[in-house]
Structure 1
Amino acid sequence: MSTRTPLAIDGVVRWPDDTAAAYRDAGYWQDRSIQSFIAAQVEIRPDDPAVIDGDVRMTYRELWDASTSCARGLLDHGLAPGDRILLQLPNCWQFGALTIACFRTGVIPVMALPAHRRTELTHLARLAEARALVIAATDRSTDLRVVAQQVAEDATTIESIFVLGELSAGLPDSATPEFALAECIATVPGAKREPFEPAGQDIACLLLSGGTTGLPKLIVRTHDDYAYNIRKCNEVTEIDSDTVYLASVPISHNFALACPGILGTWVAGGRVVLLPSPAPERSLQTIDAERVTVTAAVPAVAQSWIEHQREHHTLKGSSLRVLQVGGSRMPDELAARVQPVLGATLQQVFGMAEGLINMTRLDDPTGTIETTQGRPVSDADEIAIVDELGDPVPDGSPGRLLTRGPYTPRGYFRAAEHNARAFTPDGWYGSGDIVIRRPDGNLVVAGRDKDMINRGGEKISAEEVENFAYQLTGVEMAAAVAMPDPVLGERLCLYLTVADGHTVTLADVADLMQTAGVARFKIPERLVLVDQMPTTKVGKIDKKAMREDIRARLERELSST
């Protein structure tokens, strides 16, 4: 525990002093660093397995020793508490060792995604004023060492590049120096830990906003709030020392990092299994081979696993206890297939790297699990659901979600202009989500505020239309978006991917919805069949790209007449 004053870093929006004191008094914040929870597990179970990455199997002591060496390497290269390091690695044990090392030294990791390239990395490096960049040598056909040099040229604060894999050959003298990450984390058993101990309000890491517009913003997560986030997610997901957690979605993303993710598993003394991607065949084989009990996926990945299991019956055992699904709303029809096909309890997760996490409980009724996105993991999470004027709406009515609480920061990093739009003066964060709160407190996600189609004043929930589409045989993925209309402002367009051998028409969708008694204005007026849905870098369906696509289609049609 550290009681010293947090490191002073400009651009950080702190909780008000009285609010912070109340969170401490209530025990939400413990003035305790994240790595201290992991260190406790190292003492309890030094020889228990902590991480499995392909052929590499590391105990808690070995992972801790690797982080010790890595911490010393960071300091030897001139990094100091409060400095930022841009971290872009695939799912690998080195990511874990380096992240723990950052916590232990006070160096702040900026969690870039594996898919990021020069534009995004340069933006993040400049915004964070990063002094170092950590990359894999290559990513599929891309030489990331070349990209890193470009980023270092664009962002002049970068002084060092750490490479997982082979270093570049024949760098010019003007290049930013490269260092082998492997040399920094060469294990030195028994090496002393660094003397720095973070204060609770020190920054643990900077996460990325998950929006689909513009370049990502940086989200400040402190040791106090992120440790509380982890502990509450562990509690609701029932993570303990017997947990075997498979991480196949990017672990630099909040979902697989700390909800409960790899950090939650290590805080509880469980075992982390890493895969580079969530490809269904290998993922299901690994679940069987490693006796995985908990894993996380976005809806598209969950669907691919369900379809693969139906066809190939890869899962033979019954170890999988919980499948968390989040990142975007899971269609009710798909949610109903998880337990019958995969044998696991579905846990719907609706949350954001900006804080608030909602989860269905493992003992909730089946109907609640399959049709809602859960309720807050903490009783201290405050939620308001309001209309366009900011007035509260009654339960059962859609409205904009506002939230604040002990793990929802009060502002983005160095983003005063955006903070003025996203946060109210008294600290409520507007997530941009449209939700409906049921009388039992569970939330149903009705879409994003820009996902609500406004057809001549009639509001249509994209999620509602998509759920009907999933009831049609052969529909694999569905996305409803607004298309511009000169009279009504917006009309409804439905994008579908359809399985081979099946045909779906606009009339099929209309007939289904009319039979169900849906208001006519909610029935799609155009159908676009695509081979694959566009997705964002974190695997969410990219509705911004679809809105641009339908706009372009309409313009082409107009110009040809």
Structure 2
Amino acid sequence: MLYDRLVAGYPPDVAEQYRAAGYWIGQTHTAMLTESAAAHGQAVAIGDGRRNLTYRELLDQSRRLANGLIDELGLRPGDRAVVQFPNVVEYVEVVFALFDAGVLPVFALASHTAGDIADLVARAGAAAYLTVDSFGGTDFRSRAEHLAGVGTTTPAGRPLATVVAELDRADPWAAVRSANAESTGRSGAPSDIAFLQLSGGTTGAPKLIGRTHDDYLYSVRESVRICGLDESSVFGVVLPVSHNFTMSSPGILGALHTGARIVMVPATDARTVLATVAAAGITQLSVVPPLVTAWLDSPEAERYDVSALRVLQVGGAKLAESVARRVPDLFPNATLQQVFGMAEGLVNYTRLDDAVERIVATQGRPISPGDEVRVVDAAGAEVPAGQEGSLQTRGPYTIREYWHGASPESFTPDGFYRTGDRVIRDADGYLVVVGRDKDQINRAGEKIAPTEVEGALLTHPAVRDASVVGVPDDRLGERTVAYVIPTAAAVAAGTLPDGFAVRGFLRAAGLAGFKIPDEVLIVEEFPTTAVGKVSKKDQRVDAAAPESPGPASADPLDTDRLLADLADKLMVDRGALTGDLPLADSGIDSLQLMALLDKWRAAGAGGLDFETVAQSPTIRDLIAAVRRAGAR
């Protein structure tokens, strides 16, 4: 079988050690699903409210799709295919179809822009782009048509193949799915690269991470054991399904390995999530800290029977101890499990039987006895337990190199991965995350490189200089604040950019929504250090300073007050929010909408649902929907 040079980087003697220890058992993802279908064939594997598939159906449908992709698109073993899907059943179908065909999925996020996708297609040397027609107001089909229309080609000179799943059809893959339900036999060897994940690194373009069948499925199996997942479990998918956390810790792959049932939760607001937990009997959720905070603070918190939930996993960013201690208030039967991991490999969990003080105060310990962890000082010397340092690791599921050898400086000469995290390790091996070595913002679990946002800001004709920082935020973990110095010409002409206009400029420039600053501050100069460098520390302190509260309104749901709430959340002038402005162009994200939704429900709009809010075409439609709900 001919593959491009997709080397995982494990030295042969180390690979043999991992096999001898039983970490790598020689199983592919295709073989894993085949075994689960044999053991749990008639049990429901996954559902999203539109479609349900049993294990047998998932196996058959993915095989038929694999044969169709080969016959119709001419995909070959070792090809790469960028997949961009929301949380729908079709994502799991297409991923296992690609595994069966020996094609490497490249896991884009649904939030990635058209520009992000074009860049990813180019850097991965992709032969195909697979997505849905539309979802949640995003037209994904147009991206596929654009890529095809501009003549995008593969490294072999073939035109880029594009496939769009029609979500409103009984069989969304009818145009390409084959009648042949036999395995293609092309899924490759367990030691082959199975897929490419995206790093959450500090540069603008995420690095590509090649994970083998053997190493990834080992982490899945160990996660299943540690997290208590079994065939009676119901795993709720709230985070983006292609995130490494959602995929493997233990995630959807862990659920499929054990014969559990996967439920795609349609939204992230408290009402939707808690109602789905109650209705579907969800036993395990994997979430990020801002969602936990939002749910705890929501008036919906006591309205649903969520007693089925047994494990609440929180990762992606550090969970504040004060929030961790409140989890039993919302989920009385659930054990909190803190998770600290990375797409490059190492995963740490608090254990379900750990003492409460350890669960709320640490981010866990590694999953494998084969994980080697060291915490070092600036000179590379290991520091004693209890002291802060930089985290380095190697082990049976941590990469030894990025795809095609990118960023070699991320690895030590003896094969340890430099994670970039600052941690404290206690005498028992539990880690407490205290920060990052490099300048990076962790907003609701999404990693943002300030330099990328600063570069985009500097393309604005009225911006002379820009500095972007992350500021602690109770809901987001960190919010993004941009300091902007206008050009002399803009100052002289009185045409200073405002925050709303700058955010709109970044959106039009193609910056992903989660990277657009939550706040833009127009300033005359930046604070500097003693040696003349921009003091981002002082900027963080300034941005974190509390503002004076605005005047209260007698009617919290009158139009002016609702617009003021929106302007406050978007951190723009009230006058910038015209009624005809499309909500999608306002720059508001789902976490901000959730916070407003909770506030408006508490103020009297109790019947308001998240879908109505999120799908309002314009600001005027949103205000009208809130006022109608308040008048009932």
Query: TM-score normalised to the size of structure 2?
Result: 0.70
Shift of 1:56: 1.9
Shift of 1:538: 12
Shift of 1:342: 1.9
SS of alignment partner, residue 175 of structure 2: helix
- The answer to whether the aligner puts 1:275 opposite 2:271 as a matched pair is no
SS of alignment partner, residue 282 of structure 1: helix
Shift of 1:324: 0.7
- The answer to whether the aligner puts 1:244 opposite 2:234 as a matched pair is yes
Aligned match of 1:342? 331
Partners of 1:104 and 1:316 in 2: CA distance: 40
Q: Percent identity?
A: 39
Change (3 A) 1:15 1:374: same
Aligned match of 1:531? 569
Partners of 2:421 and 2:188 in 1: CA distance: 34
Shift of 1:39: 1.3
Q: Is the 8 A contact 1:68 1:192 kept in 2?
A: yes
Q: Is the 8 A contact 1:90 1:276 kept in 2?
A: no
Q: Given the alignment, which residue of 319, 343, 367 partners 2:308?
A: 319
**Structure 1: stretches of 5+ with no match in the other structure:** 1-5, 168-178, 454-467, 504-528, 541-561
Matching of residues 23-34 of structure 1 within 5 Å: 23-34=18-29
Shift of 1:415: 4.1
SS of alignment partner, residue 135 of structure 1: strand
Kindly provide the CA deviation profile for residues 264-285 of structure 1, in whole angstroms up to 9, marking residues without a partner as x: 1000110000124322211111
Aligned match of 1:164? 165
Change (3 A) 1:212 1:440: same
Aligned match of 1:486? 529
How many aligned residue pairs are there?
476
Q: Given the alignment, which residue of 60, 63, 68 partners 1:68?
A: 63
Partners of 1:425 and 1:477 in 2: CA distance: 36
Instruction: Give the letter aligned to residue 181 of structure 1.
Output: W
- The answer to whether the aligner puts 1:330 opposite 2:331 as a matched pair is no
Instruction: Give the letter aligned to residue 278 of structure 1.
Output: T
Aligned match of 2:173? 181
Shift of 1:315: 2.7
- The answer to whether the aligner puts 1:18 opposite 2:13 as a matched pair is yes
Q: Is the 8 A contact 1:382 1:403 kept in 2?
A: yes
Aligned match of 2:423? 435
Shift of 1:452: 10
Runs of 4+ in 1 over 6 A off after TM superposition: 480-483, 497-503, 532-540
Change (3 A) 1:314 1:23: same
Partners of 1:25 and 1:11 in 2: CA distance: 23
Partners of 1:11 and 1:334 in 2: CA distance: 42
- The answer to whether the aligner puts 1:104 opposite 2:96 as a matched pair is no
Q: Is the 8 A contact 2:234 2:263 kept in 1?
A: yes
Change (3 A) 1:478 1:46: closer
What is the alpha-carbon root mean square deviation over aligned residues? Answer: 3.2
Q: Is the 8 A contact 2:237 2:265 kept in 1?
A: yes
Shift of 1:451: 5.7
Shift of 1:487: 2.3
Q: 310-319 or 117-126: which moved more?
A: 310-319
- The answer to whether the aligner puts 1:215 opposite 2:253 as a matched pair is no
Shift of 1:198: 2.2
Aligned match of 2:251? 261
Aligned match of 2:499? none
Kindly provide the CA deviation profile for residues 60-85 of structure 1, in whole angstroms up to 9, marking residues without a partner as x: 11111111111111111201111111
Instruction: Give the letter aligned to residue 34 of structure 1.
Output: H
Kindly provide the CA deviation profile for residues 416-469 of structure 1, in whole angstroms up to 9, marking residues without a partner as x: 3x1x2101122110111000001121100001113699xxxxxxxxxxxxxx98
Kindly provide the CA deviation profile for residues 478-537 of structure 1, in whole angstroms up to 9, marking residues without a partner as x: 64999853327643424559899899xxxxxxxxxxxxxxxxxxxxxxxxx973699999
Partners of 2:590 and 2:216 in 1: CA distance: 20
Aligned match of 1:200? 190
SS of alignment partner, residue 51 of structure 1: strand
Instruction: Give the letter aligned to residue 410 of structure 2.
Output: A
Partners of 1:539 and 1:410 in 2: CA distance: 36
**Structure 2: stretches of 5+ with no match in the other structure:** 442-470, 482-525, 552-566, 572-585, 593-632
Aligned match of 2:37? 42
Change (3 A) 1:7 1:226: farther
Change (3 A) 1:49 1:150: same
Aligned match of 1:175? none
Change (3 A) 1:445 1:290: same
